[in-house]
Structure 1
């Protein structure tokens, strides 16, 4: 199944049930698809620039999106209506809901004399959603390397960030202080950050050609997956010990290489053994974003080629015994 956008994908996300898949792209449009058959359910129109990022709450009631038009938007998932717009001096590069759906964190870019900022907005869930506060509940400027990705941890008020320098950090949003950091988490820009369901550990991908699992509390690197291509996205497979990695050379260098050398495959690595176990081909350009269905039955990848590819795992994937004879209770 290959639903598509007019331009390259920037982020894709399943909702909590996994029946819907949201995608945003450089074509300014956000799409929502039925994940089981790839049929388009609708669009969220309104942004005037590349939509860099989106997230959907756990009830599939609200969607948030961030764009190069310097706006953060709140949408009604079911009817596609834009409920509220926050405006900033620079582009919004990453958004994420807290696990209780009460707050949204967003990163705005460092540009033209404006510092990069992290803001947390309290989402008013009463009424029709149009009555939101313009002012952030918290706002601070991370010092040093600019933040590229962020997410709420399992501790209220603590936010995980990944940075251009390769560091990962934890910030207390109430004070803006960095409470923990690992400067050497990666050697180059952190391109994606996805948390385990219980948020006790998280997975990052980086332009340094590695993906890593870190402990959320200590930021210690627990596992490293080294590839030979810059990575743009990494996702954890629920119920199976796999991580899915996607990337590829920058589009500018791709024209000079053959398809095989471009390495546009989703790579599956064994989370514990740190060994590559398989690859899935399909995209005609770098893979920019990967998401796994919350029940682990399928995964989706979004590419530079404008396609969203949804892959349903076949029987053999579920029969495989990645731990040998060991039985793992989920």
Structure 2
């Protein structure tokens, strides 16, 4: 079990970015600027150094629930109005509107030249990113779509109907349904296209073969496992899972064994980002933020906040962290440089986030 508190240091408060009037659903950092999407219907662009808002993107008629940014600086945002919009970040202009969904957007995923979206309307849609036309509609889910993973030839989805589904991206047909979970399936990953791992409200993580056979049930958590993330390092895979029981667990996928249980949070973990193979950050309903060293499962930094965290991201260098909350504020913190932190923060992975799930989880439970 990870040592949660004995050597943990405090983060240093730098400044607050103010402007949003309602809860922030997502923040991301790109090319020296911070971008935030909010329930106040707007996306804001901030200068990292000055913390000043330099642009506001408007267009959505309801709260923004999901946002992803491509490597070339295009923002894609989904909303409670069922629409998806794209924006050129650097040029600060609106690009396209993607219409077809009839209810709230829950997830957005980028794959090659395509955008995939899931919704409360039970559908998954595939869009051409630049032309904004819907190419394919994936039907079969009987409730809210909670997650999407695209592997090329196949698309996998998780849903509130307690199932996972495998679709063909060639014709949109549903190839198989994976059943066994007894509650909503919140998240899924597909390492190396070999197996599918899913997490659920029922407190379990399940491993499936890609032809739908259940291979293992991980039942260490005592409450909902809301998020799982894949870590690949030196051709080895591990899985990190956050739970409402206040713990984070890391598994070795070569033998499906538990490596670490990282405890310390006193309530549900609602935010989790894996920075690289060494660093993970978590935010909880206990108003606490923690930075963990995945090598030994220890808590390196912690911070007590006055409101729950809704989104996290690393900033313009490896020692800056942005934290968004329900009040609409974004706070900037410095991670003190030490010999230890230099070792595991210097290799921060700068890949853009390709998938973001909406904040319906936070608002509904």
When normalised by structure 2's length, the TM-score is 0.66
1:308 is aligned, of 330, 334, 337, to 330
Structure 1: tracts of 5 or more residues without a match = 125-130, 249-262, 323-327
Q: Relative to structure 1, is the Cα distance of residues 189 and 176 closer, same or farther in structure 2, using a 3 angstrom cutoff?
A: farther
* Structure-2 change in CA distance of 1:270 and 1:3 (3 Å): same
Q: Is the 8 A contact 2:123 2:137 kept in 1?
A: no
* Distance (whole Å) between structure 2 residues aligned to residue 286 and residue 108 of structure 1: 25
Contact 1:163-1:189 at 8 Å conserved across structures: no
Between the aligned partners of 1:142 and 1:73, the Cα distance in structure 2 is 24
CA distance in 1, matches of 2:255, 2:59: 40
Q: How far 1:45 moved relative to its partner?
A: 0.2
Higher strand residue share:
2
Q: Does 1:39 align with 2:37?
A: no
Unmatched segments (≥5 aa) in structure 2: 1-14, 178-194, 206-220, 350-365
Q: Indicate how the Cα distance of structure 1 residues 321 and 74 shifts in structure 2: closer, same or farther if over 3 A, else same.
A: closer
Q: CA offset at residue 117 of structure 1?
A: 2.2
Aligned residues: 289
Report if the CA contact (8 A) 1:25-1:50 is conserved: yes
Q: Which residue of 1 aligns with 2:296?
A: 273
State the Cα RMSD in Å: 3.8
Listed as ranges, the matches of 1:198-213 within 5 Å are 203-213=240-250
Q: 1:74 to 1:298 in 2, by over 3 A?
A: same
Q: Secondary structure at the match of 1:106?
A: strand
Quote the offset at 1:148 in angstroms: 2.5
Cα distance in 2, alignment partners of residues 2 and 297 from structure 1:
16
User: What is the alpha-carbon distance in structure 2 between the residues aligned to residue 217 and residue 162 of structure 1?
Assistant: 24
- Which structure 2 residues correspond to residues 228-267 of structure 1 after superposition, within 5 A? 228-238=266-276, 241-248=278-285, 263-267=286-290
Q: What is the rounded CA distance, in whole Å, between the counterparts of 2:116 and 2:256 in structure 1?
A: 20
The answer on 1:63 being equivalent to 2:75 is yes
Counterpart CA distance in 2 for 1:294 and 1:221 is 33
Q: 1:149 to 1:299 in 2, by over 3 A?
A: farther
| 1:197 to partner: Cα distance | 7.9
CA drift of 1:189 comes to 6.0
1:181–1:137 distance in 2 versus 1, CA, 3 Å: same
Indicate the structure whose relative CO is greater, using CA pairs within 8 Å and at least 6 residues apart: 2
Q: Distance in 1 between matches of 2:342 and 2:28?
A: 26
Pairing 1:1-330 to 2, within 5 Å after superposition:
1-4=15-18, 5-15=20-30, 17=31, 19-60=32-73, 62-87=74-99, 88-98=101-111, 100=112, 102-109=113-120, 114=121, 116-124=122-130, 131-133=131-133, 135-137=134-136, 139-142=138-141, 146-152=144-150, 155-158=151-154, 171-172=166-167, 174=169, 175-177=173-175, 180-182=196-198, 184-185=204-205, 187-188=223-224, 190=226, 192=227, 196=231, 203-213=240-250, 223-226=260-263, 227-238=265-276, 241-248=278-285, 263-282=286-305, 284-293=306-315, 296-316=318-338, 319=341
Alpha-carbon shift at residue 163 of structure 1 (Å) = 5.2
